[in-house]
C-alpha cells in the first residue's frame, strides 16, 4: 500500500525549490527533517539530485527549463504508479 501524505507532497515541492536553489533556510531545515523520516521522499531526493547533476554535466550553462520541467513531470508520473 502506498503511504503518501500531505507532508510528502509539500516535501516534494520544497525539494524542487531546493534543487533550484530557491529555498530559504527555514524551509530547507524542514525539508531535511522530512527526508530523514520519510524513505519515499529521501529516495526521490536522491534520484532528483543525481538527475540534475547529470543534466548540469551535459549542459554546463543552464539546463533548458523545458527539459527540467519535462523530467519533473515524468518523475511525478512515475511516482503516481
Ligand atoms: Zn515523504
Distance 1 CA to ligand 1 centre (A): 14
| pLDDT at 63 (0 to 100) | 66
Q: Determine the distance separating the centroid of ligand 1 and the alpha carbon of 35, expressed in angstroms.
A: 7
Q: What is the maximum alpha-carbon separation in the chain?
A: 41
- Residue 1: band (very low, low, confident or very high) from pLDDT cuts 50, 70, 90: very low
Phi-psi region of 70 (alpha: psi -120 to 50; beta: other; left: phi over 0): alpha
pLDDT at res. 37: 95
* CB contact at 8 A, 8 and 16: no
- pLDDT tens track for 41-80: 999 888 888 887 887 787 777 667 777 777 777 777 665 5
Instruction: Encode pLDDT of 20-49 as tens digits.
Output: 777 888 988 988 999 999 999 999 888 888
* Contact (Cβ atoms closer than 8 angstroms) between residue 15 and residue 51: no
- Is-contact 42 36, C-beta < 8 A? yes
Q: How far is the CA of 61 from the centre of ligand 1 (A)?
A: 31
- How many angstroms is it from 5 CA to the middle of ligand 1? 7
Amino acid at each position: 500500500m502506498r503511504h503518501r501524505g500531505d507532508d510528502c507532497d509539500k516535501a516534494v515541492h520544497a525539494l524542487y525549490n531546493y534543487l533550484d536553489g530557491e529555498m530559504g533556510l527555514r524551509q530547507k531545515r524542514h525539508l531535511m527533517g522530512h527526508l530523514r523520516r520519510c524513505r519515499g521522499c529521501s529516495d526521490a531526493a536522491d534520484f532528483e539530485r543525481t538527475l540534475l547533476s547529470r543534466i548540469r554535466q551535459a549542459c554546463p550553462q543552464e539546463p533548458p527549463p523545458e527539459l527540467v520541467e519535462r523530467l519533473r513531470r515524468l518523475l511525478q508520473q512515475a511516482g503516481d504508479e
